[in-house]
Structure 1
């Protein structure tokens, strides 16, 4: 389980649309006899050998026009079983693993340096990592550093006590609801106070509500996890069971009032601006005036409420539910949120539950967990050390040029679009040209001077970091919007689009092979990082991103007719993905994954258009027996290679807006005549959508 901050911004305004989930996203597909293909692997007539595509990954027993995911990745899938400590293994995992090796070397060097200047980033990073690695000290401390926080909960006697606890910005793992500061989606130049649904431990509301066998198994494992943790805290068996049932009852009530993930994607319905007086009247038992006062937000006049019905139920619960049960809920969320910094018995219970939830076979090694905690708590302090060692200015410059090449190609596609009116095209081009591009690492780093870190207690460091993050967030209120901020740390293997900032961001971590290789030909880089760049650009024009204008404001800039045409085309994509079923009785949710699927299709289309302008594409010379166009599509498919455990796959399809990787490969390619031409695919082949079922937007 992961640590959670006590500041939760609404899904509407804090959303960044990332390339990938926390896990990589595909699974092995069945191999079938190969049909004849024009593609052959090997040196071409000039003997030229390429860089960037591993020919050994290709399964030549599969026809590319039958299953291109399997053709491009089949041998890799066969030869790369999932490590016991992972729930999936793919190109994202491989690159993350490579980056973690670099990170571990930096962290161990920092931890060994006892001469670092007190208060410096080096001291904080080194001490944080050293404390996280010191399992002996964690065991010796036991619950010593947790007891003051448990005592604070134990002292609660009434609703007012619960309100005071929730209002204290120093408390973490509070649950109930989220409150924080973020950009106003309809006025992106200012920060607003925002409230949202929250309070659940399981990954999604449906885990509490569905009655299928899998959901019941997870709930049973969750109860065992809760009971065992309460027993570790000193409860006897009967009391532990009673407390576990109370927590689950409260969370189930919250789940019933929560919006599902498809509804949370609707930007307009999750924007409900109210005066503070209205919020206080609508949700009287939350005591929002006290929460604002304790958070330093007394100057706020309005609050953007994400999910009003949920907050109404949360307010009712504070009044109606027994205080004893509410205390156990707070106690559970406190302990569960910091279990990684507690004695091994707590860590083991968390892992035992994750085995059922995600299918993991072994816990991650301690250094991996320590690295993740350090990156999560001191991401930009560590990030400065990371980029000094592992990211060159030349790599940043070339990536920047790729972005600009794709921007030109996107503009041409918008202008050539037949279904869009001139007025809407003008607004779309305005937005495209306004995209801010961030590559590698921030120009202005976060200031961690107020965060105190020592080697005394890993748990205290987590508490201090959580409090610092909260104050850092709350302190934004009333200040000009800081457009220099990053939503990911430099080592992250991912990328994102931020609607309110209208920016596309590519951390140094993803600017590595197989996504980006300075030694590779353009086909490889445009099929890899080019498709990633195009993906993030297209998020500005997906079914939700299109509702935001060039300034990052939630505003409908489309003509009514153009908007309807767009959604008709988008619905074709939705139906295509609804039909994909990687596991028995489990289908991809086309509505939940709509934005990511549109971004994949648009991103690949734009990357290909940009690639066709390169000298390599114009020359048309083969490398390793593959044409430039074929190498482009091969690397696109190979970046999505992955094996995934069934449990993790089911969790992804239930909670994640990203489709499984095999469909992120197959789905867009089935719609692309350029791919069909490159590999000689014909009508009737599985990789070819029939004309009336084919999706084309840009």
Structure 2
């Protein structure tokens, strides 16, 4: 699903239900010494100390790009979802229009590989033919709008409807930089070997898809040259990912007519009409200079080249939903990006697609069969405990003035938690699902999403809407809604178990709750006030102190090496790193309020504090392919797992005391060098 203005702690989907037995998890079910490498000093490499044996014994499976706690749970969960879907697909008595029937039909259509193979690329032939008939710039612009409103592709730029960050009760049309097929501008512009390999793979992918729809080798190669030339020009005008995190840099509000003056070849009043965004007087633009470049390209690029570019958008968007030659070509390209060895099984891909397109229909069946209501109640208690702990920490800050503290506390008090699943389910009214046509379902779903999005214009902001589906193991904070959201899927070990001791739960789900709360006070979220408005609530001196601390944390992560000379990007990952540092500190504060947190009673030979930090570390145990690790550095605002493990703890006095970490140990930081923010 498209999600906007959401800062998320990105996990991989897994289940509320876990297949791991207590015997597998350890004597008490939650920490297993057999997974550790106690030959490593915790002060030298806490990630390996906590997880080393597990890492040695669990290489990345061929169908994965990484492997860790989340992926183990996801595998069980995806099988649970598969069982729901297969049962729904086989239910011949499910009434037409019922949740079971619609979910079952969507899944069954996606699993009908015979029909999909037989169709070949016929589902997109009308699109390719329509583009062939284009003969003017006006036709090009109309096709761009047509593709967007019909769920085909998003050519040239991004468009969406979202809250106005400086007037959060209003939904407003928003334009974003876009128009490229590679996942980051640097892949077009850098000449290191990895970037060159990715460009070559992308070129091969383009050529392959055009040949599959009838182009000869020469024409396909020429098409690849045209596409890359256009996309490189667009990429050169993109802001970097670090710049895109700047809430003020990317907030540029224009009257529709005024913005049209900056793009002589695009009339935005007419464009908004064709995009079904009627009656709008203003528009938000995240990168105005990008649109100047896009407009100039419209003027100087031949119509024949735009036709090739638009056909490529159709091909790229459809490839994974067509017959196997297209799917295989997409996978071959993806292999170069991620290092994945074998393709994900079809049933797993279709299960994920079902969750992605009709997740709140599937979610109703999932919650009914697997969710335990007591988990929600316990989670509500944990959220409030973390809120209390966060308030205590804010009041204790020695670097923040009282006036700013009061506003920070007001924002914290205004946080709205959403837990497990929506109070009101989305029913996807108007989304037609056919058991006979998988591709048509995908197109109908994308068109439905678009129409649902633009229908929000002129209506009150829907604060009940969820950005994630119930089976998802993930959580997020929305700055403009000032809400923290925890789907049902995350309420499971290693994050949470109602039978676990407090050290395990606070080191797991407690740190996740604290992480999302801390997003409200990270380098970006801290620019929004208690009602979600992009508005400064800091004194100038306090903001400077905060930014100095944030800069120090960015430099800490800059020093971490991932592959050879490839380092973590401290500025790009700063929001997530502040989330982890703040979240773990707040979780520890809350843990120390519990009976176990105030005791020294050992379990399986570990003190309560040791169990807290080991719980945190086992959440992050992960092996990753080199290709995927390199991609993560460029495209993912989260640091790699090993550095998420150690990044916060080296700044926490309690970790040093718990594991007797001393000067001379590799992870040791002097007390005066430890970064303390929230």
Instruction: Tell me the TM-score normalized by structure 2.
Output: 0.96
Judge which range, 293-302 or 644-653, deviates more. 293-302
The partner residue of 1:299 within 279, 287, 290 is: 279
Q: 2:626 aligns with which of 638, 646, 667?
A: 646
For the 8 Å contact 1:59–1:72, the answer to whether it is kept is yes
What corresponds to 2:533 in structure 1? Answer: 553
User: Displacement of 1:508 after TM fit?
Assistant: 0.8
**Could you report, residue by residue, the CA deviation over 1:576-610 in whole angstroms, capped at 9, with x for unpaired residues?**
00000021010000000000011100000000000
Which among 138, 157, 173 is matched to residue 160 of structure 1?
138
Point out where structure 2 has 5 or more consecutive residues left out of the alignment: 15-25
Q: Is the Cα contact below 8 Å between 2:208 and 2:329 reproduced in 1?
A: yes
Asked if the contact 1:21–1:658 (Cα under 8 Å) also holds between the matched residues in 2, the reply is no
Q: TM-score, normalised by structure 1?
A: 0.94
Task: Give the Å deviation of 1:455.
Answer: 1.4
Deviation digits for residues 474-519 of structure 1, max 9, x if unmatched? 0000000000011111111111100000000011111111111111
- The SS at the match of 2:78 is helix
488, 498, 504: which one pairs with 2:468? 488
8 A Cα contact 1:272 1:305, kept in partner = yes
Given candidates 323, 327, 343, the residue that maps to 1:343 is 323
- Tell me what 1:127 maps to: 105
| Alpha-carbon distance, 1:532 to partner | 0.5
Contact 2:13 2:471 in 1 (8 A): no
**Distance across 2 between alignment mates of 1:414 and 1:231:** 61
**Whole-angstrom distance in 2 between the partners of 1:511 and 1:284:** 52
Contact 1:164 1:290 in 2 (8 A): no
Answer yes or no: is 1:16 the counterpart of 2:23. Answer: no
Q: Matched residues in 1 for 2:304 and 2:11: separation?
A: 37
Q: How far is 1:682 from its partner?
A: 1.3
Alignment correspondent of 1:537: 517
Q: 31, 48, 70: which one pairs with 1:92?
A: 70
Structure with the bigger RCO (C-alpha within 8 Å, sep 6+) is 1
CA deviations 1:311-369 (Å, max 9, x no partner) are 11111112211111111111111111121210100001011111111101000000111
Q: What SS does the corresponding residue of 1:378 show, helix, strand or coil? A: helix
Moved over 3 A (4+): 21-24
Q: Which of the residues 8, 22, 44 maps onto 1:66?
A: 44
**Which residue among 34, 52, 55 is the counterpart of 2:33?**
55
**3-state SS, counterpart of residue 315 of structure 1:** helix
User: Any idea what SS the aligned residue of 1:273 has?
Assistant: strand
Deviation, 1:114, is 2.6
User: Equivalents in 2 of 1:299, 1:538: separation in Å?
Assistant: 38
CA contact (8 A) 2:13 2:473 kept: no
Matches within 5 A, 1:264-663: 264-663=244-643
Residue 111 (1) aligns with residue 101 (2): no
Instruction: Indicate if the aligned counterparts of 1:95 and 1:493 stay in contact, CA closer than 8 A.
Output: no
Q: SS where residue 147 of structure 1 aligns?
A: helix
> Which moves more between the two structures, 111-120 or 647-656?
111-120
Question: Which residue is equivalent to 1:38?
Answer: none
Superimposed CA distance per residue, residues 356-409 of structure 1 (whole angstroms, 9 cap, x where no aligned partner): 111010000001110111111111111111111121110011011101000000
Task: Tell me the distance in 2 between the aligned counterparts of 1:403 and 1:98.
Answer: 27
Partners of 1:544 and 1:311 in 2: CA distance: 24
Give the Cα–Cα distance (whole angstroms) in 2 for the partners of residues 283 and 119 of structure 1.
Answer: 46
Corresponding position of 1:37: none
Distance 1:535 1:238 in 2: 53
Q: How does 1:164-175 map to 2 (within 5 A)?
A: 164-168=142-146, 169-175=149-155
CA RMSD of aligned residues (A): 1.4
CA distance in 2 between counterparts of 1:23 and 1:556 reads: 35
- Which residue is 1:255 aligned to? 235
* Aligned length in residues: 665
Inter-partner Cα distance in structure 1 for 2:195 and 2:452: 38
SS at match of 2:562: coil
CA apart distance, 1:144: 2.2
Structure-2 separation of matches of 1:547 and 1:50: 44
In structure 1, what is the equivalent of residue 21 of structure 2? Answer: none
Q: Equivalent residue for 1:224? A: 204
1 CA distance for matches of 2:557 and 2:547?
15
In the alignment, what sits opposite 1:144?
Answer: 122
Q: Report the Cα distance in structure 1 between the residues aligned to 2:596 and 2:54, rounded to whole angstroms.
A: 27
| CA distances 1:600-634 after superposition (whole Å, capped 9, x unpaired) | 00000000000000011123211000011100000
CA distance in 2, matches of 1:385, 1:538: 33
Contact 2:123–2:439 at 8 Å: present in 1 too? yes
Tell me, what secondary structure is at the counterpart of 1:395?
helix
Q: Which residue is 1:42 aligned to? A: none
Contact kept in structure 1, 2:151 and 2:450, CA below 8 Å: no
Q: In structure 2, what is the Cα distance between the partners aligned to 1:58 and 1:193? A: 51
Residue 19 (structure 2) aligns with = none
Distance in structure 1 (CA, Å) of the matches to 2:172 and 2:387 = 31
- CA–CA distance in structure 1, aligned partners of residues 603 and 61 of structure 2: 33
Task: Determine helix, strand or coil for the equivalent of 1:654.
Answer: helix
Alpha-carbon distance between aligned partners in 1 of 2:292 and 2:11, rounded to the nearest angstrom: 31
Q: Contact 2:13 / 2:472 at 8 angstroms: preserved in 1?
A: no
Confirm or deny: 8 A CA contact 2:179 2:231 kept in the other structure.
Answer: yes
Which one is further off, 116-125 or 76-85? 116-125
Determine if contact 1:223/1:244 at 8 Å carries over to the other structure. yes
| In structure 1, distance between residues paired with 2:265 and 2:468 | 35
C-alpha distance in 1, partners of 2:432/2:319?
A: 21
Q: Deviations over 1:270-290 (max 9, x none)?
A: 000000101211123233222
Q: In 2, are the aligned partners of 1:534 and 1:604 still within 8 Å (CA)?
A: yes
Name the CA distance, whole Å, in 2 between partners of 1:324 and 1:153: 10
For the Cα contact (< 8 Å) 1:511–1:529, is it kept in 2?
yes
* Preserved CA contact (<8 Å) 2:156 2:178: yes
1:175-214 correspondence to structure 2 within 5 Å: 175-214=155-194
- Please give the secondary structure, in 2, of the residue aligned with 1:491: coil
- Bigger drift between 167-176 and 439-448 goes to 167-176
Report the Cα distance in structure 1 between the residues aligned to 2:310 and 2:275, rounded to whole angstroms: 19
Contact 1:496 1:504 (8 Å CA) reproduced: yes
Q: In the alignment, is the contact (CA less than 8 A) between 1:174 and 1:330 conserved in 2?
A: no
Contact conserved, 1:282 with 1:312, CA < 8 A, in 2?
yes
Task: Give the C-alpha shift of residue 123 in structure 1.
Answer: 1.7
